[in-house]
Amino acid sequence: MQDYFNGKTVLITGVAGFIGSHLAEQILTFGGKVIGVDNFITGRRINLKEHLENPNFTLLEASVSNPMESYFDPQKHGGLDLVLHFASPASPPAYQANPVETYLVNSSGTHNLLSYLEENSPNTRFLFASTSEVYGDPLIHPQKEDYFGNVNPNGERSCYDESKRLGETICGVFTRTYKMDVRIVRIFNTYGPKMRYDDGRILPNFINQALEKTPLTVYGDGKQTRSYCFVDDLVRGILLFASKDDLQGQTINLGNPEEYTVLETAVLVQKIVNQSVGQENILFANLPKDDPTRRKPDINKAQTLLNFHPEVDFRTGLSKTIEYFKTQESRILE
C-alpha cells in the first residue's frame, strides 16, 4: 500500500475534515503529494497545521460543488493519480444545519468531479466516500453491500442519505458508461482524534459531557445500536481500497462490526472518564426522527478483497479519543 502512494498525486476533497485530514497525513507519510480542497463549512484549519508548510501539500479553499475548473488548474497543480471525494458534512446536526450544501456536494460535487476527470484525465482513479446511512433504518442485520436499504426520501436525514445514494448512482454511471475506475466506500460510524468538539455525534457528545461532568444525553431509551470504528483502522481500510488494482466499480463497507447499544456506550464512556459504574449521570432525551434502530457492518467483502481487519478495540480507541478531547487543540473550531 505504501509503495502505491509513493510519488503519486492525490486530490482529497474535504481535506480539513475529520477523515480527510487523517487521509492527507497518511498519504504524505507514504511519500505522496496531496492537493487538498475544503470550503471550511465543517472542516478545521487546525487539522492541517502539520502540513501547511509541507511542499508536498497544497490547500485549495473552494467548494467542490462548483465545477472543478473553477479551482483546479492542471498547469499549476499537475496530473492526478487519484481523487478521494470526502467533502460533506457528516454529523446529523451538521448536515441538518447545512442541508443544501450537503445534497449539492454529494450530487453536483460528485458529478462535477467525475465530468472533469472524464474529459481531462479519464485514467485518474476515483473513490467516493459513501456511508452506512444509505441503508437507512435497516431491515437486514448486519448490513451487507447488496442490501438496498430502507431510507425515508423526504425525512430529516434525507439531505445526507439520499444525496449519498445519488452520489453512488453518479459513480455507477461514470464507471459503466465511461469505463472509469470509480470505487465506493460505505463508511460506518467512525471516531477518533480530530473530530470537532461540537460535532454533535454520539462519541464527541458523550466524551465531552463526561469530561465536563455533565449528564450524558442518551436519545430515546438508548437501546438502539451502533458499531464504532477507530479512525486509524478506517483510514487503513480506505487506503488499501484506493491502492489495490482491479477493484473498479466495487462498493465496499468499512467499519468495525463490534456492536453496542447507545446506553452501553454511555456507561463505558463514564467508566473510562469518571470511573463511575452505573447509569448515574445519564439524561434521557427525545429520540430524533428516523434514527436508525440497529447498525452493524458486514465486512466480509473488505476482509476478502482487502484483507481488512479492524485492530483497535473500543476501549483503546476511546482512551485515545478522550486524551484528544482533553487538549486545547480540540477546542479550536476553525
Q: Which residues contact 132 (CB under 8 A, 6 or more apart)?
A: 143, 186, 187, 188, 189, 253, 255, 295, 297
| Closest distance to ligand UDP from the beta carbon of 186 (Å) | 13
DSSP lists the bridge partners of residue 226 as: 260
Which residue, 193, 273, 197, is CA-closest to 232? 193
Q: Residues 177-196 vs ligand UDP: string with x where CB under 6 A?
A: ------------x-------
* Using rule CB under 6 A, residue 234 touches ligand UDP: no
| Closest distance to ligand UDP from the beta carbon of 298 (Å) | 17
Stretch that binds ligand UDP, among 55-63, 71-79, 241-249, 284-292 (CB under 6 A): 284-292
Q: Is the torsion defined by CA of 332, 44, 55, 19 positive or negative?
A: positive
Q: Give the count of residues interacting with ligand UDP (CB under 6 A).
A: 14
Q: Whose CB is nearest to ligand UDP?
A: 201
| Closest distance to ligand UDP from the beta carbon of 226 (Å) | 5
| Closest distance to ligand UDP from the beta carbon of 106 (Å) | 15
Q: Is 160 a catalytic residue?
A: yes
* Using rule CB under 6 A, residue 205 touches ligand UDP: yes
Catalytic residue among 103, 116, 160, 260: 160
Q: Which of 33, 201, 296, 301 touches ligand UDP (CB under 6 A)?
A: 201
* Strand 251-254 with 229-230, pairing: unpaired
Neighbours of 267 (CB within 10 A): 23
What angle, rounded to 10 degrees, do the helices at 314-325 and 202-211 form? Answer: 60
* Using rule CB under 6 A, residue 202 touches ligand UDP: yes
* Using rule CB under 6 A, residue 262 touches ligand UDP: yes
Task: State which amino acid sits at residue 49.
Answer: K
Helix, strand and coil in the chain, % to nearest 5: 40, 20, 40
For ligand UDP, give the closer residue by CB, 36 or 138.
Answer: 138
Contact at 8 Å (CB) between 193 and 235?
no
Give the SS3 label for residue 281.
Answer: coil
* Using rule CB under 6 A, residue 219 touches ligand UDP: yes
| Closest distance to ligand UDP from the beta carbon of 287 (Å) | 6
* Using rule CB under 6 A, residue 112 touches ligand UDP: no
Q: Which residues contact 78 (CB under 8 A, 6 or more apart)?
A: 9, 33
Residue positions annotated with a catalytic role: 160
Residues that bind ligand UDP (CB under 6 A): 92, 189, 201-202, 205, 217-219, 224, 226, 262, 287-288, 291
